[in-house]
Amino acid sequence: MPSIPLPFFSDGHRIDADLHLPDDGGQAAPYPVVVAASGYQGLKVIHPERFARALAPLGYGVLAFDYRGFGLSEGERGRLVPQEWAVDVRTAVDRVSGHHDVDAERIALLGWGLGGGVVVSAAADDPRVRAVACCNGIADGYRSTRSMHDETSWRSLVRRIEADRQRRSEVGRSEITSPWDIVRLDLDEQTDGYVGDELYKAHGFGSGVTLESAEYLLRFRPEEHAAKLSPRPLLIVHGDQNQLHKVDEAHALYAAADEPKQLELLEGKGHTEWMFDDDPTFKYMIEVVDGFLGDAFDRASVGAGEGGR
């Protein structure tokens, strides 16, 4: 899988990105392209590059990048703000749409976890995006985060967020905390185990997050933007036993979106324990994504042709 460094600037921050291409020597270029958006912690080397390894052999270019403030990208360390990440995604579309190996009429967004909500928000007002896939994503940051906590940990988090507002007004900086004080993993044994065994292999994973970030997360409501995607299609894929981002998030996003839309529930599957390149569930999800994108790009081509008559 050939890879080309393709950094870009978002709000003045240099964003580290790579464009992964099919290994056909450019014969099928320009390629349809998928901008793959990471989940919580924002690292391209985890799931965005996993999607690239799966989709490039099927004929797609895939752009994988580190959000601002994470990985090799510039930006304030620990500032994890999904509203700003949506700007990074839109700027990624700016960058990749001008590359000679990419078909700017066939651009899709694919987001994982928190990134699933990010791509819905990013695409809502960007007609260049022809299709959106949200995988194990969220529809409402407040509801999703609240569901991860018991009463004690939730009250503690809310008190700390409120105190941090006062702190920021006095000293100009937000307190850094463990990312797992905000996204509580220990109530989801499968995800907690996968994160500990697999994701911590990525350099920089698990780094601290500001409490201001938690406040922005609680205000993040992708479902309010979902209807703006129509007539562009939305695919929602979600494990029906997901204990981190509950399946209610998928149903809520689906209900908020207009047609065309597709909901694919993965029976008996949780949030991330099946995210391995060779896992049958991951392979099945890629088949679903491939079929969805093929239909979406065909529909977009027909619409463009009709508009030109």
> What's the pTM value of the predicted model, to 2 decimals?
0.95
Question: Residues 20-63: pLDDT tens digits?
Answer: 999 999 999 999 999 999 999 879 999 999 999 999 999 999 99
Mean pLDDT of the chain, nearest integer = 95
What are the tens digits of pLDDT across the range 181-233?
Answer: 999 988 889 999 998 998 888 888 889 999 999 999 999 999 999 999 999 99
Sheet containing 17-20: order of strands = 3-5, 17-20, 61-65, 31-37, 102-112, 129-135, 234-239, 261-266
Please report the pLDDT score of residue 308 as a whole number.
38
Taking 60 as the threshold, does the pLDDT of residue 307 lie above it? no
Place of tokens 């791509």: 119
Domains of the chain plus CATH, in order, are 3-140+222-303 (3.40.50.1820)
- How many Å apart are CA 2 and CA 19, to the nearest integer? 8
Reported as a single tens digit per residue, the pLDDT across 96-135 is 999 999 999 999 999 999 999 999 999 999 999 999 999 9
